[in-house]
Amino acid sequence: MSSKLSAASVQVTSPDDVRNVVLIGNAGSGKTSLFEQLLKSRVTGYRGEKEDAERAAQLYLASLVTGEFQVNVLDAPGHPDFVGELRAGIRAADAAIFVISAADGIDGAAQALWDECAVANLPRIIALTKLDAGHADFDTSVVEAQTKFGEGVLPTHVPTLSAPGVIAGNIGLLSLEEHDYSSGAVVNRKLTADDSHVEAYRGPLIEAIIQEAEDDGLMDRYLEGEELDTEYLLDDLMKAVATANLFPVVPVASNTGVGVEELLRLIEHGFPTPSLHPNPHATTPAGEDLPNPPTDPAAPLVAQVIRTTTDPFAGRLSMVRVFSGTLKADDVVHVSGHRARPDNAHPDHDNDERIGQIQVAVGSSLEPRAQAIAGEIVMLPKLTSAETGDTLSAKSRPALIAPWDLPEPLLPLAIRAATRNDEDKLAGALQRLAVEDTTVRLARGGGDQLVLWTTGQSHADLLLARLTERYGVKVEQEELKIGLRETFIAKATALGRHVKQSGGHGQYAVCNIEVEPLPRGGGFEFVDKVVGGSVPRQFIPSVEKGVRNQLEKGVFAGYPMTDLRVTLYDGKSHSVDSSDMAFQLAGSLAIKEAANAKTVALLEPLDLVTVIVGEEYLGAVMNDLTGRRGQLLGTDAEGRKAIIRALVPQTELSRYAIDLRGIAHGSGTFSREFHGYELMPSNLTEKYSKANS
């Protein structure tokens, strides 16, 4: 085993000295245990990090030195609620170790993670864990991975057993070398006996490598039985890995470290350097194209904030990937933050800011460094304006890299401050939450509720814990109120009469109105048909104002009214006692008089919902949407995915982010957008009338 070194002993002078790797896998796959083993193998005195809810929910960075390279290892959350952190890790990394549990197989959630990598064309090695489970089997797991992920999945190593179910090491299929971990130190020796199990995997691997090399002569030599040079094959294998055409499978044991050295060798020689991995496209803040940022320390600076953490005492800490140029301590850089969708919590901004200290990961701790060059991932403390996704660039040539796609938060959580003291602190705490976690959205819901939009139950629980434990703010959850509307469903006439006599001037106003329904989306219309001056001209706007005020309050269940026309056609006035306020009150009373159970009904908001699931879940999802009173609009197919579109009442969608995950076994995603209002069924009217009373 290689001797353990400090990351501080490698001074990065070229992007080729760096490897940026993200670990990706389901929660429970053994991913974080593998992360710990990688660090223990190279970082002296590393004892591991405490596993808690915060650790499991965020992108975590540590560095190690292997050979002549500094390897920045990012541990990405495996839970679907934190896919935003996963995408941040994919943006920061140049390749991935994809962790699969042989004991649990490849479910919909694992398929979704693989698809995330495929979209980014990220090179991947598959680490196959938990082979020591009683029902786990290497051959079965490889076949499943090839079925789910494609024929490019090929083992480069096969496990060796010291006893049934006990992984002692592995055999390299190209080198035909056995790596034995059973003594606690890796012992390497040449395989001396023929092994049919090895040959069953070795032949297809060599053939795939030759096909990737596109060398007809090499294939002929192989088919004629010539033993090909191992180093030549390894070189072609690494090229195929770097271009995401082949995905080596390595058996590992996260608890003992079996396979760790083989993974590290593949990282060193098979994963692309930052120079070989394409950088994100850059524009000016105004949107004009810039040349693609080269991974060159001498080029103008282009870097991106990958994630932000905040602490009530220490302030912000920003993880930054440098794509181009050199970042130096005390530099003044340009900070650009522009989002695809307007976001009140994250307004667009362009400003200059001075960088303070630069810190690099040494193991899991941070040490200061004078500069960071293209290809490095560093930490910058106390940036005041830069947020997750923002671009840092040279002041002389401002640049903007578009942030990665963030998941839409679709699980609403209605909250209120527990006490007056908490109410005073809540706004500031929520603002800090939004800075740290860009998947959070704050909004006002029905009844002016404060609604925290989250990506799922685990995300919601984490945010509530942060409010309490980090910021000392206690909140209480309350039932979500949906923004219903009231409308007239039948024509009605009514008289609004406000007459009061008192000492001095009295109050006198009478108005006659007709109310009739408008088509959905018609809004509100006010029509003046007064003739003969029965309502003086100066008081007609007063009647309209009174009507509008009452419509905002509702007349039936306290919801605003819409989709109706009010016609003022007659009335009475008094030369002394009539006034603006009297006619406002008369207009309000007239609307109330026109409303009754036969003329007024509730409208509920409908969303256009688009669901994407594996085709095997199509029927279950459609049945569920129908049960939610959804109107199915159609389905489409896209590869192995089914796309379902439906109009669904918002009252049926409050927990859909959780329910869909259960129906589709973690593989389903959906989006929703407001479509319009439709009449609520009469059997539900009473329930929602009481809810807002």
List the structure tokens of 448.
Answer: 């002016």
The DSSP symbol for 138 reads H
Last residue of a domain, one of 544, 579, 598: 598
Q: Which of 240, 270, 300 is the last residue of a domain?
A: 270
Report the percent of the chain where pLDDT is more than 70: 97
Arithmetic mean of pLDDT over the chain: 90
6 band by pLDDT with thresholds 50, 70 and 90:
very low
Q: How far apart are CA 621 and CA 670, in angstroms?
A: 11
What count of other Cβ atoms lies within 10 Å of the Cβ of residue 42? Answer: 23
Q: Assess whether 143 and 129 both reside in one domain.
A: yes
Tell me if 275 is assigned to some domain. no
pLDDT score of 692: 54
Task: Give the torsion sign (CA, 289, 290, 294, 300).
Answer: negative
Number of domains in the chain: 5
Q: What is the mean pLDDT of residues 270-293?
A: 93
Distance CA 254, CA 251 (A): 10
82's tokens: 């934190």
Residues 155-198 pLDDT 10s? 999 999 877 778 899 999 999 999 999 888 899 999 877 777 89
Contact by Cβ (8 Å): 635, 643: yes
- Residue 80's CB is within 10 A of a number of other CB atoms, namely 24
The phi-psi region of residue 189 (left if phi > 0; otherwise alpha if psi is between -120 and 50; otherwise beta) is: beta
Q: What is the average pLDDT across 582-609?
A: 96
Q: What are the residues whose beta carbons fall under 8 Å from the beta carbon of 426, sequence distance 6 or more?
A: 417, 467, 473, 475
Rounded to two decimals, the pTM is: 0.88
> Given this model, what pLDDT does residue 182 score?
87
Residue bearing tokens 């490897």: 19
In the predicted model, what is the mean pLDDT of residues 289-297? 94
**Which helix (H) or strand (E) element contains residue 268?**
helix 260-270
| Residue 83, pLDDT above cutoff 80 | yes
423 and 359 in one domain? no
| End-of-domain residue from the set 353, 378, 401 | 401
CATH number at residue 576: 3.30.230.10
- pLDDT digit string (tens) for 270-281? 899 999 999 999
Same-domain pairing of 560 and 657: no
Beta strands, E only, 76-181: 95-101, 124-129, 153-155, 157-163, 166-172, 177-180
Give the Cα separation of 87 and 407 in Å (integer).
9
Amino acid at 503: G
Once rounded to an integer, what is the mean pLDDT over residues 330-339? 93
Both 466 and 577 in one domain: the answer is no
Say which amino acid occupies 271.
F
Q: What per-residue confidence (pLDDT) applies to 3?
A: 41
> What are the tens digits of pLDDT across the range 229-249?
888 888 888 888 988 999 999
Q: Report residue 289's pLDDT band, with 50, 70 and 90 as the boundaries.
A: very high
pLDDT of residue 1: 36
Q: Is residue 1 part of a domain?
A: no
Does residue 157 share a domain with residue 202? Answer: yes
Q: pLDDT tens digit string along 625-653?
A: 999 999 999 999 998 899 999 999 999 99
Residues 67 and 201 in one domain: yes
pLDDT grade, residue 592 (50/70/90)? very high
Query: How far lies 540's CA from each of 276, 492, 494, 526, 537, in Å?
Result: 73, 20, 16, 10, 5
* Residues 593 and 607 placed together within one structural domain of the fold: no
Burial class (CB in 10 A: 0-12, 13-18, 19+), 210: buried
CATH number of the domain bearing residue 154: 3.40.50.300
Structure confidence at residue 44 as a pLDDT band (50, 70, 90):
confident
For residue 406, is it within any domain?
no
- Percentage of the chain surpassing pLDDT 90? 70
Q: Do residue 359 and residue 449 come from a single domain?
A: no
Predicted confidence at residue 412, as pLDDT, reads: 96
Largest CA distance in the chain: 118
Taking a C-beta distance cutoff of 8 angstroms, is the pair 348, 338 a contact? Answer: yes
For residues 628 and 682, membership in a common domain is answered with: yes
Is residue 307 scored above 60 in pLDDT? Answer: yes
Half-sphere exposure of 47 (CA within 13 A, CB side): 2
Residues 504 and 472 in one domain: no
**Sequence-separated (6 or more) residues with CB below 8 Å from residue 312:** 470, 471
pLDDT per position as a tens digit, 486-517: 999 999 999 999 999 776 678 999 999 999 99
Q: Which tens digits make up the pLDDT trace of 91-122?
A: 999 999 999 999 999 988 899 999 999 999 99
> Identity (one letter) of the amino acid at 4?
K
In terms of Cα–Cα distance, which of 573, 493, 557 is closest to 689? 557
- What average pLDDT does range 350-377 have in this prediction? 92
Is the pLDDT reported for residue 226 higher than 90? no
pLDDT in tens, 470-491: 899 999 999 999 999 999 999 9
Higher pLDDT, residue 468 or 225 = 468
Cβ-based burial of 692 (10 A; exposed 0-12, middle 13-18, buried ≥19) = middle
Q: Which of the residue ranges 13-22, 212-221, 384-393, 449-458 would you say has the lowest mean pLDDT?
A: 212-221
**CATH number of the domain bearing residue 629:** 3.30.70.240
Task: Decide if 277 is inside a domain.
Answer: no
Structural domain boundaries enclosing 571: 485-598
More confident residue, 42 or 394: 394
Evaluate whether residue 658 is within a structural domain: yes
pLDDT of amino acid 523: 95
Say whether both 20 and 133 belong to one domain. Answer: yes
CATH classification at residue 395: 2.40.30.10
Q: Are residues 299 and 393 in the same domain?
A: yes
* Cβ neighbours around 36 below 10 Å, total: 21
The pLDDT of 400-423, averaged and rounded, is 94
Name the residue with higher pLDDT: 176 or 48.
176
How does residue 134 score in pLDDT terms, banded at 50, 70 and 90? Answer: confident
